[in-house]
Structure 1
Amino acid sequence: MSSLENILHFQAGLGVLANMFLLLLYIFIILGHRPKPMDLISCQLTFIHIMMILAGGNIWLADIFESLNIENDIKCKTTFYISRVMRGLSICNTCLLSVFQAITISPSISLLAKFKHKLKKYMINALFYIWVFNLSVSSDSILSVGSFTNVSETKQIKVTKTCSLFPVNYFIRGLSFTLSSSRDVFLVGVMLNTSTYMIIILRRHQRRFRYLHSITHLRASPEKKATQTILLLVVFFVVMYWVDFIISSTSVLLWVYDPIVLTIQKFVANVYPTITPLVQISSDKRIINVLKN
């Protein structure tokens, strides 16, 4: 168990450092180097992943709260609420990144082309509504989480040393599970559809201009590189999401939680926010140029 916790701490440390480094680079690019429309989403996604790792793993955020003179019940509710909000924002922003990249590379004759000129306006509005939606939907976690007392008396699920999930009505638990899973399934479906659309566009583009441009030029296209990066992130997110979904939903619905299973779930949940900045840093030419300079 201690070795698993050490791996979890190492993963969290790597994820936080990589995301903080990427966040600083995005801020530098946005302030002074002609940012792309999707940079705002990527910058926000990086910040979300920092908070997601800190709160979702209940590693350092709980330790920070220990130094504050606040009731433990408030600490538990705050940590889990932030974790739920950031998880929802992560899937929403990943989906938004996929949709807007599909709009960006869509040909001028397509139905999506009319949205290109107002992409920035739609993006700002979408980001605002996404935050409002997730802050509202995740509010139920405030009632279902609290300070750990006695498992034998109240049938709580102890998820940290000091926090636990309270048993709730089966109808409420099922309703909450249905709403959150429906949202996630819908967004994953949108990501898979936009990913398929982008793959079709890239294949058509490559066939159409095969004789007009060299293969080297096609591989070096910034739009193609950005699209391939987003496709990689979407596929990786979907795979890790379903693994995390199976583990967490089984535990909550059966109301059974094992410390080892909980540690594995935290590790799986942190894989995507840890890998994402490494993929973005290695694939974005602007970031590579900034590092070289």
Structure 2
Amino acid sequence: MCLLKIVLNFQAGLGTLANMFLLIFYTFTILCHRPKPTDLISCQLAFIHIVLVLTGSDIWLTDIFESLDIENDFNCKTTFYINRVMRGLSICITGLLSMFQAVTISPSTSLLAKFKYKLKKHMIYASLFIWLFNLSFTSNHIFYAGAFTNMSETNQMKVTKFCSLFSMNYIIRPLILTVKISRDVFLVGVMLTTSAYMVIILFRHQSQCKHLHSLRHPRASPEKRATQTILMLVVCFVVMYWVDFIISSTAVLLWVYDPVFLRLWKFIMNVYPTISPLVQISSDSRIISILKSLRSKCHQSLQKG
């Protein structure tokens, strides 16, 4: 139990720091340099994952609410609502990122080529729609989450020591669940379809390169590296999503509070927000060059000292 809590703390700290680094980098790039088309999406994803890790870990945010002497019911509703909004945004923005990259690398002869400039033009509107949809769609959690009460435990499920979910109407619950599953299945389907398309494009490109450069392999292009990074993110997300879905569905079906089971669920839920920034940092040539430059400067200053 204690070891799992330490692991959750470490995971939350690592995920927060890595995503904060990405958020600062992408914000600075967007404001001060010529950004890549995907930088705006990646900047949103970094911010979403910071909030997701902080609300999902239930470590620092609860302490902040307690220090401000905010009542527990407001604490529970706010934390749970924000966490669910960020989970929905994470899958939507990841789906948008994979779709955007698939259109970007599509050859000029394909049907998707005509959407390249349209997608860039309407990317801000698409992001705005995704945010508004998730903020409104998840609003039901404000009414069905709150402080743990002394009422019968069959009518509520504890999700933390002090917070619980209250049972919904037998008509509302399947309706919300149907919309949520439909959204998630659609977006996971989009990710898998675009990923398969990108793999085919990369395979064809690799075959052409081998044919043209039989003696020497060319360096991977920035587009190829970006595509490989997004493929890694999509695969990681899809795997962790289905593990999270199975665990969360089991928790809802059992309708019981188990601290160990809950901590395990939180760990699984925060794996993608923690891994994704590390993948992006290790594969972005701009970040790698900055880190190498800082390393060389530190090495020179140590030699002078």
TM range (shorter): over 0.9
Question: Which shifted more, 261-270 or 1-10?
Answer: 1-10
Counterpart amino acid of residue 216 in structure 1: H
Residue in structure 2 matched with residue 261 of structure 1 by the alignment: 261
Shift of 1:229: 0.5
Counterpart amino acid of 1:14? L
Please name the residue that 1:216 is paired with: 217
User: Mapping of 1:177-192 within 5 angstroms?
Assistant: 177-192=177-192
Partner of 2:234: 234
Please report how far the alpha carbon of residue 213 of structure 1 lies from its aligned counterpart in structure 2 after TM superposition: 4.1
Paired residue for 1:16? 16
Q: Structure 1 residues 73 and 31, CA, compared in 2 at 3 Å: closer, same or farther?
A: same
Task: Quote the Cα distance in structure 2 between the aligned partners of 1:105 and 1:243.
Answer: 30
CA contact (8 A) 1:150 1:156 kept: no
C-alpha separation in 2, matches of 1:116 and 1:163: 46
CA distance in 1, matches of 2:13, 2:164: 25
Q: CA deviation at 1:154?
A: 6.1
Q: CA RMSD in A?
A: 1.5
Q: Which amino acid aligns with 1:37?
A: P
2:45/2:94 contact within 8 Å kept: yes
Residues in 2 aligned to 1:253 and 1:161: alpha-carbon distance in whole angstroms: 19
In the other structure, the counterpart of 1:144 is 144
- Structure ID, larger Rg: 2
In 1, are the aligned partners of 2:53 and 2:273 still within 8 Å (CA)? yes
Q: Distance in 1 between matches of 2:217 and 2:62?
A: 50
Separation in 1 of the partners of 2:251 and 2:76? 19
Q: Which residue of 2 aligns with 1:271?
A: 271
CA distance in 2, matches of 1:113, 1:291: 35
| C-alpha separation in 2, matches of 1:231 and 1:120 | 20
Cα shift at 1:173: 1.8
Q: TM-score, with normalisation over the residues of structure 2?
A: 0.92
Taking a change above 3 Å as real, the CA distance of residues 169 and 177 of structure 1, as seen in their structure-2 partners, is: same
Q: Give the unaligned 5+ runs of structure 2.
A: 294-305
More deviation, 152-161/169-178: 152-161
Tell me the residue number matched to 1:289: 289
Equivalence for 1:4? 4
Deviates more, 1:169-178 or 1:266-275: 169-178
- Structure 2 Cα separation of the partners of residues 247 and 154 of structure 1: 20
Contact 1:151 1:158 in 2 (8 A): no
> Counterpart of 2:107?
107
Cα deviation digits, residues 126-152 of structure 1 (max 9, x gap):
100000000011001011100112254
Secondary structure class of the residue paired with 1:35: coil
Q: Taking structure 1 as reference, are residues 174 and 28 closer, same or farther at Cα in structure 2, changes over 3 Å only?
A: same
Structure 1 partner of 2:296: none
How many angstroms apart in 2 are the aligned matches of 1:188 and 1:204?
24
3-state SS in 1 of match to 2:239 = helix
For 1:178 and 1:24, the matched residues in 2 are separated by 37
User: Offset of 1:16 from its aligned partner?
Assistant: 0.4
> Could you say which residue in structure 2 is the equivalent of 1:244?
244
Q: 1:3-152 alignment to 2 at 5 Å?
A: 3-150=3-150, 152=152
Inter-partner Cα distance in structure 2 for 1:184 and 1:59: 27
What is the DSSP-based 3-state SS (H/G/I as helix, E as strand, rest coil) of the residue aligned with 1:36? coil
Q: Moved runs in structure 1, 4+ residues, more than 3 A?
A: 151-155, 213-216
Alpha carbons 2:154, 2:255 under 8 Å: kept: no
Query: Is the deviation greater in 176-185 or in 24-33?
Result: 24-33
CA contact (8 A) 2:49 2:90 kept: yes
**Once the two structures are aligned, what percentage of the paired residues are identical?**
71
> 2-side partners of 1:146 and 1:33: how far apart?
45
- Secondary structure (helix, strand or coil) at the match of 2:212 reads coil
Q: Structure 2 CA distance, aligned partners of 1:136 and 1:114?
A: 32
Instruction: After superposing the two structures, state which structure 1 stretch, 279-288 or 143-152, moved more.
Output: 143-152
Q: Distance in 1 between matches of 2:80 and 2:11?
A: 20
Q: 1:153 to 1:86 in 2, by over 3 A?
A: closer
CA distance in 2, matches of 1:76, 1:101: 37
- Structure 2: how far apart are the matches of 1:277 and 1:213? 34
Contact 2:48 2:86 in 1 (8 A): yes
**Aligned twin of 2:298:** none
What letter is aligned with 2:226? A
2:172 match: 172
